[in-house]
A and B are shown apart, each in its own frame.
Chain A
């Protein structure tokens, strides 16, 4: 296949899955899907190898969906599937790391032959059990566990499974609405794929898939061979709700002979008793993301471009937790996974990495009663700290990395729940000083308009251990979580008095390079002066 024909077919595959993802994002009920694009959509070949992926979504979802493809074909051999079958799972160890994320996998048949699969993962509104947060004692308390099953069989709904799901989630209409969207998006993708094959006189995607995977793999190995071989180390430390410190240690080995990168997390913290543990597939997703964003960010993500990047974590580590560890708030640790890797890669590609940033977004959920005594439960909302600085650029303020979640507007929150914000401004100077400054965090204050007690579930991080600078850059300021001026470090829901005031100060990012005239005398750079 020449570079012209392949370009046309390949770009059509990517635009097909991208359209599928856009349709999903528009239609979804789950606020984090709509607002933050917390979803993934991809096309797999008949062997379950991901060959095209939507250019949208979050790293955690995208790359774990790639791994899920392999698990699906292992559980259901392609020759046993029939047209109209639809597979489903939310197994944290097989897909995206917690029950909220449900993956749907649909075989594509053409001329009575299984030629491909469309897969999608989205964050659902509810999955029963504990709900949002890290407070469950084991994974079973976190909700409904769906092994790999058939959601539809030969076009008919699996009634048993449907009624189990309906009985075990708090928002069955939304969950089934979102599942229907996942199923129908695969149908749209199928039509587009078959039209493309017909237009080009193809009956399957075998040769195309081989070509895409081989070229991507070769390009990735070539890019790896450009790097200075060796083993490089980086570690990151941060505190999580409840106050404990997590350490992530990575050694990144660049193997020039094989054209491979091996990331080993031996020596990192053990699994936690609270629900912030990460399954290996989610760890691998954020690891490959970090490598790819430094190595060759323009190369499309697929089985071939991911293959030369290997991840190894000892079982029982917080990054390779074992059953029955709770995993619900796995993003709290998962979003830090890229940081030690980027610190290791600093030694080989200093101009392409960034200093540590605030890490995980701070998430908040509130339950209570309004002034008329009507109960409400907010959806989960979130705020970012500062990003780390880059070699030639400051870190953006109030912007998160590696995720890039948008915040719900103040006015939308105030119009939907009885909350009143008192402040939302940058914490000037909270970003670490440096030749390039770390991004500033922000100060967010609010109180409730209520006569009743209310429940606050705020998941914070980096309130003790700061984001370190790189190359002589100074660290960012730690975050602060205060209720009526008193510091709080609590992983569980807090019962609040009616007029309590909350003040959140999100952490700043680390600086890059030594500050111009010595750390002691550098005044914080005022943005936009």
Chain B
């Protein structure tokens, strides 16, 4: 064994590659994403990094891990092929009616998405399963045969099947699939009872339709990836990053593309969980601020929070409810309209506002000199001296400081404030809005954010982290190394994992254990099979269990995890206690007189944890400041030492205020913060108050 592993993360702009040897040596590369054919960039990057390391492709005999935006792009750009939807007769408009909710009460001009499958391609099937799972009407073979013919004539090669109450009994859906498999063997079929077998017909249908819509893209894509890897002599079958923060074999991922929607961002969150483990921190908030948005994710007990419902392609980017709902497990992240490119304006009330409109990377901030004329967060950072006009992207891109000043001066005039006050105002306002969004995210999940260490990355994250951390009453910030390819690195530290769920509404006091036993058996078998497919022997698979429960009459469920299958003990008293404890920690009370019901059963199959140490190259001797520059934290500006991150030695301490520069980002250490270079390569900043001094 030569011990090389490789990770490739295809994002919207860049494709990142990390090559790692099991002795800890690491090579990284970054190349532009090739939107015409994503795999072109994949292999260009891979070949580049292999050449750089002087390693032959055949030497990659550890994992090949891949995170990709291919599925998300297909949905957002509506690039999927014509797709059909089969529903119970009488319920053809399920995608148009949605849940009838108007996500913005005050917007009379509100708009909703056109569904991925139009009404004309939606077919009502004369069948019915009732709520307890009894089949009231079976599927008529002739009806499906005629439909198969119809789909063929329309040139449709993928269909979703979402029948009422199929979460409870999949028989009719499976029968339709079997008939179609026989009569239309080339048709891709996605069953709601396999993709997302959970109660709530609209959300299940939406999820199944997204799966059906993207399968004709994901399946050939992943098959081709395996072939091309094989053609280069790489025998390893690729593992694919899923939204839930696990990786799985390409075959399972190809059949359930909807599970790959947040592939890249999930990898970013996994990095946070990796560092939580490495540094021994139980709680952490990851804070990834880029050009257009900032993302935050909460790590609890060293694991990222996972949600069972999220949305893709929001009509209004930051408005919850305006997107297409998906009910498969996903790393629970909040996306905030605050990035380096966020535009600052003065509104009708004379208030300084920042974002959510963004200058993005094109034309970008004024200081990029690419035609942007509205002042942005990056322009303010430059005016404050937080960034160096001559050393952005390692000096590859010169910034136009005068342009930035002029743009901000126009705002200053409107506000009746000075240039410096306005630039500082932009810095503060964007920090406040990120902190508010993070607080709201935590409040919604019943998590106490106060005092939680912050992991800061992304181009703008380390510039703004101190200010945001102080607002969140946090005393510690971690700046990880490899910031520029962090998500790709994240996939390398991600264990195999598949999360499965089955809906079966039942009161805790009167559960049908025989039925639940069957559900759990099914999920266990499916988990084992999927992990075996990804190369994990059955003995190494660890199963964990969970239920989503609620008080009878409430709508929101609380997830509870169990190390052993609840079926073994059938101990509803313990289940109730676990639920009530979780409920109390989220809501601060118990309702001991109320009955409890189970909504969903979960089985998570985990492979062995991917402990992959990375050797970090740190300087042998503490690095001295390479320069000093004027920085404005609060008027007046003061001279602040500037360090080069690459020149810092393990254990070296730097007291704020200070600036630490690396190629892709700049760490801005505010007053009262003390940074220390950790042996892991992380820079860890803390506030003295937190160290008991």
Task: Say whether, besides A4-B421, A7-B429, A425-B90, A384 and B100 are in contact (CB < 8 Å).
Answer: yes
Q: Is A482 an interface residue, CB under 8 A from the partner?
A: no
- Name the contact of A409 in the complex, choosing from B199, B421, B424 (C-beta under 8 A): B199
Taking the closest CB of chain A, its distance from the CB of B493, in whole angstroms, is 33
Query: CA–CA, A34 to B352, complex, Å?
Result: 34
Q: Please tell me if the beta carbons of B131 and A527 are within 8 angstroms of each other in the complex.
A: no
Task: Mark out the residues of chain B between 630 and 682 whose CB falls within 8 Å of any chain A CB in the assembled complex.
Answer: none
Q: Please tell me if the beta carbons of A426 and B120 are within 8 angstroms of each other in the complex.
A: no
Q: Is A528 an interface residue, CB under 8 A from the partner?
A: yes
Given the complex, which residues of A lie within 8 Å of B105, measured CB to CB?
57-59, 402-404
Q: Please tell me if the beta carbons of A398 and B96 are within 8 angstroms of each other in the complex.
A: yes
Given the complex, which residues of B lie within 8 Å of A161, measured CB to CB?
none
Chain B residue nearest to A57 (CB atoms) is: B105
Query: CA–CA, A399 to B439, complex, Å?
Result: 31
- Name the contact of A34 in the complex, choosing from B202, B417, B555 (C-beta under 8 A): B555
Q: Please tell me if the beta carbons of B591 and A177 are within 8 angstroms of each other in the complex.
A: yes
Chain B residue nearest to A388 (CB atoms) is: B108
Task: Say whether, besides A4-B417, A396-B112, A19 and B440 are in contact (CB < 8 Å).
Answer: yes
Listed stretches B302-310, B342-350, B384-392; interface member: B342-350
Task: Mark out the residues of chain A between 444 and 494 whose CB falls within 8 Å of any chain B CB in the assembled complex.
Answer: 445, 449
Task: Say whether, besides A4-B422, A384-B100, A411-B164, A23 and B432 are in contact (CB < 8 Å).
Answer: no
Q: Please tell me if the beta carbons of B120 and A529 are within 8 angstroms of each other in the complex.
A: yes
Taking the closest CB of chain B, its distance from the CB of A214, in whole angstroms, is 10
Listed stretches A10-18, A139-147, A202-210, A315-323; interface member: A10-18
Query: CA–CA, A353 to B109, complex, Å?
Result: 8
Q: Please tell me if the beta carbons of B108 and A401 are within 8 angstroms of each other in the complex.
A: yes
Main secondary structure, interface of B, reads: loop
Q: Is A75 an interface residue, CB under 8 A from the partner?
A: no
Task: Mark out the residues of chain B between 92 and 126 whose CB falls within 8 Å of any chain A CB in the assembled complex.
Answer: 92-94, 96-112, 114-115, 118-120
Given the complex, which residues of B lie within 8 Å of A125, measured CB to CB?
553
Given the complex, which residues of A lie within 8 Å of B589, measured CB to CB?
27, 177, 180-181, 184
Listed stretches A151-159, A325-333, A416-424; interface member: A416-424
- Name the contact of A398 in the complex, choosing from B100, B422, B553 (C-beta under 8 A): B100
Query: CA–CA, A27 to B589, complex, Å?
Result: 9
Q: Please tell me if the beta carbons of A216 and B349 are within 8 angstroms of each other in the complex.
A: yes
Q: Please tell me if the beta carbons of B433 and A11 are within 8 angstroms of each other in the complex.
A: yes
Taking the closest CB of chain A, its distance from the CB of B160, in whole angstroms, is 15
- Name the contact of A414 in the complex, choosing from B92, B111, B165 (C-beta under 8 A): B165
Listed stretches A103-111, A234-242, A259-267, A293-301; interface member: A293-301
Q: Please tell me if the beta carbons of A297 and B106 are within 8 angstroms of each other in the complex.
A: yes
Q: Please tell me if the beta carbons of B201 and A409 are within 8 angstroms of each other in the complex.
A: yes
Query: CA–CA, A443 to B115, complex, Å?
Result: 20
User: Using a Cβ–Cβ cut-off of 8 Å, how many residues does chain B contribute to the interface with A?
Assistant: 75
Q: Is A165 an interface residue, CB under 8 A from the partner?
A: no
Q: Please tell me if the beta carbons of A354 and B96 are within 8 angstroms of each other in the complex.
A: no
Q: Please tell me if the beta carbons of A527 and B119 are within 8 angstroms of each other in the complex.
A: yes
Q: Please tell me if the beta carbons of B102 and A400 are within 8 angstroms of each other in the complex.
A: yes
Given the complex, which residues of A lie within 8 Å of B588, measured CB to CB?
184
Task: Say whether, besides A12-B436, A18-B440, A396-B110, A26 and B119 are in contact (CB < 8 Å).
Answer: no
Task: Say whether, besides A216-B349, A406-B100, A528-B115, A353 and B108 are in contact (CB < 8 Å).
Answer: yes
- Name the contact of A19 in the complex, choosing from B120, B417, B443 (C-beta under 8 A): B443
Taking the closest CB of chain A, its distance from the CB of B634, in whole angstroms, is 13
Query: CA–CA, A507 to B203, complex, Å?
Result: 25
- Name the contact of B103 in the complex, choosing from A404, A420, A424, A445 (C-beta under 8 A): A404
Given the complex, which residues of B lie within 8 Å of A59, measured CB to CB?
105-106
Query: CA–CA, A390 to B203, complex, Å?
Result: 28
Task: Mark out the residues of chain B between 378 and 434 whose CB falls within 8 Å of any chain A CB in the assembled complex.
Answer: 415-417, 421-422, 424-425, 428-429, 432-433
Q: Is A225 an interface residue, CB under 8 A from the partner?
A: no
Chain B residue nearest to A445 (CB atoms) is: B90
Q: Is B275 an interface residue, CB under 8 A from the partner?
A: no
Given the complex, which residues of B lie within 8 Å of A7, measured CB to CB?
351-353, 425, 429
Given the complex, which residues of A lie within 8 Å of B131, measured CB to CB?
411, 414-415
Q: Is A79 an interface residue, CB under 8 A from the partner?
A: no
Q: Is A197 an interface residue, CB under 8 A from the partner?
A: no
Q: Is A215 an interface residue, CB under 8 A from the partner?
A: yes
Q: Please tell me if the beta carbons of A293 and B108 are within 8 angstroms of each other in the complex.
A: yes
Task: Mark out the residues of chain B between 555 and 613 whose CB falls within 8 Å of any chain A CB in the assembled complex.
Answer: 555-556, 586-589, 591, 593-594
Query: CA–CA, A421 to B425, complex, Å?
Result: 57
Q: Is B515 an interface residue, CB under 8 A from the partner?
A: no
Chain B residue nearest to A2 (CB atoms) is: B417
Query: CA–CA, A430 to B594, complex, Å?
Result: 44
Chain B residue nearest to A338 (CB atoms) is: B108
Query: CA–CA, A409 to B164, complex, Å?
Result: 11
Q: Is B505 an interface residue, CB under 8 A from the partner?
A: yes
Q: Please tell me if the beta carbons of B443 and A23 are within 8 angstroms of each other in the complex.
A: yes
Q: Which 4 A-B pairs have the closest CB atoms?
A: A404-B102, A4-B425, A528-B118, A406-B101
Residues of B within 8 A of A (CB): 90-94, 96-112, 114-115, 118-120, 130-131, 164-165, 167, 199-203, 346-353, 415-417, 421-422, 424-425, 428-429, 432-433, 436, 439-440, 443-444, 446, 505, 551, 553-556, 586-589, 591, 593-594
Some 24 contacts from A to B, beta carbons below 8 A apart, are A7-B425, A10-B351, A11-B436, A29-B554, A34-B556, A58-B105, A177-B589, A184-B589, A293-B108, A298-B347, A396-B112, A399-B102, A402-B105, A404-B102, A410-B164, A411-B164, A414-B164, A414-B165, A415-B131, A415-B199, A421-B90, A426-B93, A526-B120, A527-B119
